[in-house]
Amino acid sequence: MAGTKWISRREGAAGGSVSKNTALRMCAEPFQGVRFEKMAIPKYNELYSLFLFAIQDGAPHSSKDVKKIISQKLQLTTEELAERLPSQRQPTFDNRVNWAKTYLKKAGLIDSPRRGIYIITKEGLNLLASGVQITNDLLKNRYPAFSAFVSGVSIAAPSALDGTPSSTVSDTPQETLERTYSLINEQLADDLLSEVMQQSPAFFEQLVVDLMKAMDYGDGFVTKYSGDGGVDGIIHEDKLGFNLIYIQAKRWDPSTTIGKPELQKFAGAMMGPPKIEKGLFITTAKFSQGAKDFANAQHIILVDGQKLTTLMIEYSIGVSVEKTYYIKRIDSDYFPD
């Protein structure tokens, strides 16, 4: 099905940052002199500049608004927008815009203050204003966070079927599937952490207790929100409550690093009465090395934001199954020798 591809003929500007007003002025007509050619719906990595263009004003934009601006710029027809992935689970265009969003966010070019809302960052504005062609290679070379995200995943040749990153030709089908599964979960974990950050501290404390229950650690409850002595939740490992686990839950900014003093406060709360031998400190943030060393000596288990979302996905807290794939093999017992 024919689509529209934009091909920029602008020369890239010299490197360096510019002010927001200057960048907006430079981006005012970012596609002047652009030639359009008919082709299939652009791959995800061919939508980077258009995504940034759609949100270049610096205001928050919904996912729906971004897709509308991009589709209008590409002059996509109703039939093209309705084209679906081979799985029939999602429109091809929506899928590719979503993957473009994922990579731009990993590169630090866009931000998402809440689910489904996107704004351009200063770096994204500078890159768009420079006029350079935004490719996977450029993002990998310029932005360490992007490079780390795609490590071990080949993104040089996006799949012709759905625009998602594909494997190298030397990979087995099993390796390709596992790599894609890992990448999808990374994207889900990123979105999941953003969603958790939009909730209240009380919700987060209950989430932690729910997660512990799902992991079969026993029954638990959230403590009162005042006068809890630094303990946010308690898990009964046995039905009579002989063995307890104290929980400290901190819904802090993911970029925050929790140091040793916070762990010392929690350890003090564990001294009782009653004295508790096991503690779990779980957060959306990160832990310093000093905090980790102290926790190891006090038998306190630490769970940071990355580990938290991994566990939530594994134990289906806040997520649901979208599709199940079965890998089958020949049943040798069925066939005679």
Residue 173 domain flag = no
pLDDT at position 154 over 80: no
Residue 192 domain flag = no
Catalogue the long-range contacts made by 182-190 (C-beta closer than 8 Å, 24 or more residues apart): 182/153, 183/153, 185/313, 186/149, 187/102, 188/309, 188/313, 188/319, 189/306, 189/309, 189/310, 189/313, 190/102, 190/105, 190/106, 190/309
Q: Is this structure's pTM higher than 0.85?
A: no
Whether residue 215 sits in one domain with residue 104: no
Whether residue 143 sits in one domain with residue 65: yes
Whether residue 13 sits in one domain with residue 149: yes
Tell me the pLDDT band of 217, cut-offs 50, 70 and 90: confident
Residue with tokens 């650690």: 217
Q: Cα separation of 243 and 277, whole Å?
A: 9
Whether residue 100 sits in one domain with residue 216: no
Cis peptide before 273 (omega within 30 of 0): yes
Whether residue 219 sits in one domain with residue 157: no
* pLDDT at 172 (0 to 100): 63
Residue 176 domain flag = no
Whether residue 227 sits in one domain with residue 124: no
Whether residue 156 sits in one domain with residue 7: yes
Residue 178 domain flag = no
Summarised one tens digit per residue, pLDDT across range 239-276 is 666 678 888 999 999 989 999 999 999 998 888 777 88
Picking from 117, 149, 166, the residue at the C-terminal end of a domain is 166
Residue 193 domain flag = no
* pLDDT at 127 (0 to 100): 95
Q: How many domains does the chain have?
A: 2
Q: Cα separation of 233 and 235, whole Å?
A: 7
Domain coverage including residue 214: 201-314
Residue 187 domain flag = no
Whether residue 159 sits in one domain with residue 206: no
Residue 180 domain flag = no
Domain containing 277 — which CATH number? 3.40.1350.10
